[in-house]
Amino acid sequence: MPYFLSPKVLFGSGMLKRLGSEIEGKGNKAALITDKVISSTSSQVVDLIKTAGYEVKIWDGANQEPSVDLVVECSKFLLEFGPQIIVAFGGGSVIDAAKAAWVLYERPDMTGNELLAVNPRTKLNLRKKAKFIVIPTTAGTGSDVTWAIVLIDNTNHRKVGFANSEILPDISVLAPELTIGMPKTLTAGTGMDVLGHAIDGFTARQATDFSDGLCLQAMKMTFDWLPKACKDGNDLVARGKMQNAATIAGLGFGNSNTSLSHALGHAIGTVFNLPHGRAIGLALTYSIEFIASNPVIPNAPNPLERLGLAARFVGIEANSNEQAIIKLIKKIKDLQKEIGEPLSLQEAGVKKVQMEETLDTLAILAAKDVNMYSSPCECKDDNLKKLLMSIWQG
């Protein structure tokens, strides 16, 4: 991409207190979009917004896999209330739901199906009604700084990702104290999502000088800090580092793209109802092995060179790029073992008969996923099915 996009990012312990001064005098109604679990912890945020002079209403209907129907309902709430500030408070699913509902609030002429058809060239004319602020409570998706949305299309039983630069949030508030109490499994899964974002973003066909450094830094931070965050959920330093890593990775892949592991992860996550981060983690090492051993699409970054550089950046010593990549894959698998993440779909509980019965569907979903077009290597037909079976077998 020939330009770099980023919202204003407030980061560090206690930074939540800055929220009031950021929104003071910019309206009198604020909507907080969240889920029922996170809603119970929202009093501090609500009080800060009220102190800045706003009437606050909460919509807590978000869920783990937001659908088009769900965001249409959320947009109805926004249209009835009429806020000038919309705050997404929660994990990546909450943020995506809020983003999509915000678009429909600004554009009530659009239907849910038209929302799914949004692309980078669509003129949305947002911010006529409201500014959009994100306060993430997990450390993984990077959705607080990206201009993409992923929703479930219930009609066609698929995940749909779409992007438009106008969807970029105005402000991201990173308050690591909000991530204290994240369960270990959620910490581990979202952490693998960070690593997937960073590696995909660094090897994607659209990678640039501006995205490269962010992706490399996010990789290193994940290897350094994710085990500590999983070992001690009250370690505020580790929590803060992983929250920063998630946003740094978001800025990286948000200005390049995600790639093969996300095309595969979206497919297996949808079919087998796996959490997003876990699905991406399962696909990651196999996608690395694939792009490192198959012909490169013309004008795409060379995966051997890129992955070799990435391996050395995270401290791996090797005599060749091939050796470095083998060690990088081992390093990722060692990390997965340490934090309790499965290394294969079989280990994640998917039976062989389930895999065989859904293989054609998985291949169709992965082949059509928008992230497949960012892969530096073509992956389709029999090669795609073999790769999916490798993810199952381990």
Which tens digits make up the pLDDT trace of 142-156? 999 999 898 988 887
- Tens digit of pLDDT for each residue in 72-116? 999 999 999 999 999 999 998 999 999 999 999 999 999 988 999
pLDDT recorded at residue 139: 87
Q: What percent of the chain has a predicted confidence (pLDDT) above 70? A: 99
How large is the average pLDDT for residues 203-215? 96
Per-residue pLDDT at 238 exceeds 90: yes
| More confident position, 141 or 124 | 124
Confidence grade of residue 44 (pLDDT, cut at 50, 70, 90): very high
What does the angle CA 290 – CA 294 – CA 297 come to, to the nearest 5 degrees? 115
Average confidence (pLDDT) over 160-168: 90
Note the pLDDT of residue 3: 76
How far is the C-alpha of 345 from the C-alpha of 43, rounded, in Å? 39
> With 90 as the cut, is the pLDDT of residue 15 above it?
no
Residue 365 has which token pair? 């979903």
Domain formed by 8-179, architecture: 3-Layer(aba) Sandwich (3.40)
The Cα–Cα gap between 278 and 332 comes to 13
Domain boundaries, the chain: 8-179, 184-393
Residue range 344-356: mean pLDDT, rounded: 97
Does 200 or 160 have the greater pLDDT score?
A: 200
Per-residue pLDDT reduced to its tens digit, 297-308? 999 999 999 999
CB atoms within 10 A of CB 25: 8
Q: pLDDT at position 40, please?
A: 87
DSSP string, 251-318: HHHHTS---HHHHHHHHHHHHHT--HHHHHHHHHHHHHHHHTSSPBPTTS--HHHHHHHHHHHTT---
Q: What is the mean pLDDT of the chain?
A: 94
The pLDDT value recorded for residue 1 is: 59
The Cα 369–Cα 379 span in angstroms is 12
Residue 343 token pair: 């290394």
Question: Where is pLDDT greater, at 312 or 112?
Answer: 312
Q: Which of 138, 134, 144 is nearest to 191 (CA)?
A: 138
Tell me if domain 8-179 and domain 184-393 are identical in fold.
no
The pLDDT of residue 53 is above 90? yes
CA distance 223 to 125: 40
Q: What is the pLDDT of residue 291?
A: 97
Tell me what the mean pLDDT of segment 236-262 comes to. 95
Report whether 267 contacts 369 (CB < 8 A). yes
Whole-number Å distance between alpha carbons of 223 and 324: 16
Q: Are strands 85-90 and 158-163 parallel, antiparallel or unpaired?
A: unpaired
Type of residue at 130: A
pLDDT of 2 above 80: no
- Helix or strand (DSSP H, E) at 149: strand 148-153
CATH architecture of 184-393: Up-down Bundle (1.20)
Of 16-20, 99-103, 313-317, 328-332, the range with the lowest mean pLDDT is 16-20
Q: Where are the alpha helices (DSSP H) in the chain?
A: 19-23, 36-39, 43-51, 68-81, 92-106, 112-116, 184-203, 209-231, 236-254, 260-272, 276-291, 303-313, 321-339, 352-368, 381-393
Q: Are 23 and 49 in contact (CB under 8 A)?
A: yes
The phi and psi torsions of 16 (rounded to 5 degrees) equal: -60, -30
Half-sphere exposure of 10 (CA within 13 A, CB side): 20
Q: Give which of 176, 163, 106 is closest to 135, Cα–Cα.
A: 176
